[in-house]
Structure formats: C-alpha cells, structure tokens
Structure 1
C-alpha cells in the first residue's frame, strides 16, 4: 500500500517591494531662462533599494533629489512619493516623513549632538523642548548609538568633525522613522578616515533596516557602500543608464556619462573609478 502523502509546509512568499518614489516623464524647465534642467526622467525606487545618483556638475542630480524630497514640483510629468502625487498632497506633511541629509541644512552650532537629533522629531531648526517626551529623548540616544556616535551626545555640533556631523544629521533624519532617506553629497570634504566611518555606518544602517530605501548623490564611486545595489547616471538632465550597479557602473557607461575615458573596478563590494588613457 502506498503510504499517504503529507503536504509540506510552504514557505511564505516574501512581501513584494512597494514603490517608494516614482518619476514618470518628468521634466523641469527654468521659467526665467527657458533652460531645461531635467528632460524625460523615468525612475522607480522601491522599498529596501539603495541607489546611487551620479553625474557631472550640472547634470541635474540635486534637482532629482529635490523632486523626490517634495521640495519642488516638476514642470511636466508626475512625481509620486510614498503613494502621494505631488500637486495633490500637502507637501509639508510629506516632507515630515522623508529623511533628508544635506550639508546645506541649518543647524545651531552650539546645539549638542543629542539636541540636533531631537529636532528631527519636530522638523525644526531650533528645539521645541515641550514637544519631546522621555521616549523621544531616549530614541535620540538610541539613534546616536546606532550611528556609532553616542560619544557626541553632549558635544556642540560646531566642534564636531565633518564625518561626525554627517552621522549626527543622519540620526536626526531617522527620528521620523522614514521609509526614504535622501543623502545629498554626505561625503563632501571628508578626510579618508571620516569617509570610511560614514560608509561603514551607512552599510550597517542598510543591513539593520531592510525596508528602508536610500538615494545617495555623490561624485565618487569610492564613496559607495557595499549596500548600494542600484545606480542612475545623469548627463545634461537626462538618464544615461539606470539599474543594477553591475550593469550601470561600467567603464563604457561611465565614459559616456562623464565625457572622458574612465576605468571602473570593484573589489569586495567597493568601487574604484579612475581616468583611463584616451
């Protein structure tokens, strides 16, 4: 007699990655001069994806970041962020749940690291002390520890190094528990040890928060952490290439994007680009 067959338990299907940001036919034109800043941009960022946004100065990187950060509107096309289309949502509420880190952010230089992180809960430059309960204050401590800078809790922001400031600002951006974290040239003017500390911190962050999506604007492949899995190349306001890093960050595509011979190599998840011979 054939023994009865028993059904094997089925592993649950992994949840489908949700769309975090979507640009469809997006263009931006400067009204005063008629200059085209972006033209025909199509791009989708999904939960858990980590994107690098690369291109020469003036390529349109910061404009793209401002669009998905709900800081500006497109001239043509549509931008949807966290399920909301720009133009049909209160962007102030949307901005409150998007993490943004930029060297241009205004931060009181005499505020301690902990105070700066606290202001992320209210989205303000100056702290609103009555708005921070014990749980909020403790969360700020936890985020400083997560970014490996808890020793900066009582240190004035103005005397912190560039790398320390960057990690404090990332902790601040995480206070709102965002699904999307935008990093606008976070490695700007960092020395080598500070750069490597920040890369390590971002890599750990990606591993610890599997649903978080990030977009990093940078000029240098060496600044990309091993967590970066996707890349977009912009040139003159248009997408040159987008997709998996192994398919986008090639010598041929980088050469076409930057307009000079570039050789690209990768070692243990880290990238290196250098000018090749013409």
Structure 2
C-alpha cells in the first residue's frame, strides 16, 4: 500500500430538481484502501458513488479522481481508468461470458462493431478468467449463468483495463448465502492479489463486507455521519446513529454482523 491519492471529494454538495441530495461530503481514498459506503435507503450513497465514478458532477465543492478534477477532464477517458461492478448489468444480446468480459476494454454493454481485441487484451481476459475461477465457462451464454458466475464475470470485466480504482455497487444483490460467501472470498483474494487496488463497496448490509475492508463511511440524509478506519466507524454507536435504530454490531473472525438491539 502507498500514500498515493486515488480519489478526493471536498465539501461536495449536489442538488437535483431543487432538492438537496448531498451536503458537505468530504472523503479521501488512497491506493490500497478498501472502503465500505453504507447508509439507509435514500441517504445519497448512489449519488456519492456516481461522483467517484465520474458519472455525476457536484453542484458545489470539488471532486478529484485519479488526480484529475471533474469539470476539467475528458470524462470518457477518465472512466476508462475506473472499474465498475454493477449487478444490474444487462447486455441486450446473448453474449458469452468471455464477450462480456471483453466489453470492459471499451466500457460498453455490447461488443463494438468492427472492434477486435488485440493479443494483450485477449491474454488479460484469459488471466482474469483463470484468477476468478471462471475457466471452462468462457462460452457460457450470459442469460444461462448463475448470479454468482455473473458477479465474478463482472469483476473480470471491470478489471480488464487494469484500473487503480474499483467501484462495487451492491455487488451481492440477488445472491444466495453460499454465492455471497463465494463472492466475498473472491473479493478478498482480489485484494490480496492487487494490494494497491483501491475499492469502494456500497451495501446496506454489514454481513456483505469482505474481511479485507479497511475503511468505512456512513452516509445519513446526504451528509457524512462518520468516516475513517473500519473498526472505528462500524460500531454499535455509530451504525445505530446512522440508521436511527438500535443495532448491535459484532466483529468476529474478520467479518461484521449486525442485528437489531432490544430497546430500553
């Protein structure tokens, strides 16, 4: 891990249709840090992630992604350096697993017309297929794959251009318990294999956090409720305050668990 800055949001505010969505959001992510972004429904998590992914611009404040300030950079070029795992990814045509992974080179949902991946991209795809336990599934059609297989394929797609920043938007959506645990083991293995990779994972559930999580930010009503080292932020007091409900937090064997606490 290095001290290289990957992402910085400074006093960010965001207004949509006269409604204040975010206010005074500040956070800095450095190489090798693995952040959890947590908060109630409607708290503004998706909007924060859209800033991190250079998809939305702030109404106020500044956002620097990979050393470049939003508003002063070619957004399309910048996005090519950001991996994004979205479980709602849905190709319009029945692509194979390998084809879906290759779309990571162009940042598109479909394969681009007349585009042919070069030998380096092909080799990179082979490496990721092997690393993520997808060998033998290269020709599987996307509609026939399990949610767990799709999740791993989307990680491979996001990593194809070898980005320094990986965003995971509720990646456990639709997974059963076994598939979720397999997916989290994959994320932990990825962190160990790529120690300088910075990640931000959005979730509602602390049970869906990989053991390699290092930092956390709690968002409440569009503001930062707490941010910092995971073990200092993901506590009973902090999480209960964020969700306005008594929630007991346990950290055991590297993983977090949450359950409603008895009132009074």
**C-alpha contact (below 8 Å) 1:109/1:158 kept by paired residues:** no
Could you give the per-residue CA deviations for residues 95-123 of structure 1, whole angstroms, max 9, x where no partner exists? 01100111233324511111110111121
Q: Distance in 2 between matches of 1:235 and 1:199?
A: 25
Name 2:104's counterpart in structure 1: 120
Gaps of 5+ in 1: 1-14
- TM-score, normalised to structure 2, is 0.96
Secondary structure of the residue aligned to 1:142 is helix
**C-alpha contact (below 8 Å) 1:20/1:213 kept by paired residues:** yes
Name 2:206's counterpart in structure 1: 221
Gaps of 5+ in 2: none
Q: Distance in 1 between matches of 2:32 and 2:2?
A: 11
1:192 paired with 2:158, answer no
**1:1-278 mapped onto 2 (5 Å cutoff):** 16-30=2-16, 32=17, 34-108=18-92, 110-128=94-112, 130-278=115-263
Secondary structure of the residue aligned to 2:136 is helix
Return the offset for 1:55: 0.3
Q: Distance in 2 between matches of 1:170 and 1:108?
A: 19
Could you give the per-residue CA deviations for residues 6-48 of structure 1, whole angstroms, max 9, x where no partner exists? xxxxxxxxx7411100000000011x2x211000001000000
Return the offset for 1:145: 1.4
Q: Distance in 1 between matches of 2:209 and 2:31?
A: 19
Larger Rg: 1
Q: Moved runs in structure 1, 4+ residues, more than 3 A?
A: none
Q: Distance in 1 between matches of 2:123 and 2:97?
A: 13
- TM-score, normalised to structure 1, is 0.92
Q: Distance in 2 between matches of 1:75 and 1:111?
A: 38
Secondary structure of the residue aligned to 1:23 is strand
Q: Distance in 2 between matches of 1:131 and 1:79?
A: 34
Return the offset for 1:137: 1.5
Could you give the per-residue CA deviations for residues 173-217 of structure 1, whole angstroms, max 9, x where no partner exists? 001110000000000121011101100000000000011000000
Could you give the per-residue CA deviations for residues 224-244 of structure 1, whole angstroms, max 9, x where no partner exists? 111101000000000000011
Secondary structure of the residue aligned to 1:126 is coil
